[in-house]
Amino acid sequence: MRWIWIDKFLEFESGKRAVALKNVTLAEEHLHDHFPGFPVMPECLMIEAMAQTAGILVGEARKFQEKVILAKIKKAAFFHYVRPGDTITLHAEIESIAPEAASTEGEIRRGEQVVARIGLMFSHIDKNLAGKRFPEENFVFTDTFGSLLEGFVDQYPSGERR
């Protein structure tokens, strides 16, 4: 089971860019502790939301044949708090992509306001780590992710995955 941390895609341009949306709600229990009386979205979870947006973009660029793993946070700068009730959009772009890895740049916005800039590197793990073997099954791109892409992508390998 993978957890999904974005609510839907708004735009998806294969191999280039994607925009996803997340609604932030006080029903997310961690916000009660982060911080008591002053709930703000943890910055690490903003990175996770960007990693999912950009990771799916990178995965789709290779038709989900690669196991795409977040390998490096190149940069992460945060400019404003994100609070319960906010809707954030995650704008991700592929900067470079090679057989072994991909590099992405992105912004998180609330309306027009940029709340964070996040640059990531993803590894296609079967092509790295000196031939270390991973399970055949693509454990990264499970069916739950497929539902996010409905209407945008028709090649999602549902059911039987290679």
Partner 1 sequence: MASSREEIFGKVQEVLVDALGLDEDEVTEEATLMGDLGAESIDFLDIVFRLEKAFDIKVPREELFPAESVLNNPDYVSGGKLTDKGMAELRARMPHTDLSKFAQDPDVNKIADLFTVSTIVNFLEMKLNG
**Residue ranges that bind partner 1, judged by CB under 8 A:** 71-72, 74, 95-96, 98, 100-101, 103, 121, 123, 128-131
Q: Which is nearer to partner 1, 4 or 76 (CB)?
A: 76
32 noted as active-site residue: no
Kindly state the smallest distance separating residue 123's Cβ from partner 1, in Å: 6
Question: Nearer Cβ to partner 1, position 28 or 100?
Answer: 100
Residue 121: CB minimum distance to partner 1, A: 5
Q: Which is nearer to partner 1, 21 or 61 (CB)?
A: 61
- Nearest distance, CB of residue 99 and partner 1, angstroms: 9
Q: Which of 30, 32, 34, 124 is catalytic?
A: 34
Token readout for 129 is: 């780590």
Q: Cβ 101 to partner 1, closest distance in Å? A: 4
Q: Which is nearer to partner 1, 71 or 114 (CB)?
A: 71
CA gap 140, 108 in Å, rounded: 23
Q: Cα separation of 22 and 87, whole Å?
A: 6
- Exposure of 117 in the CB half-sphere (CA atoms within 13 A): 5
Q: For residue 95, how far is the Cα from the chain centroid? A: 15
Could you give the residue numbers annotated as active site?
34
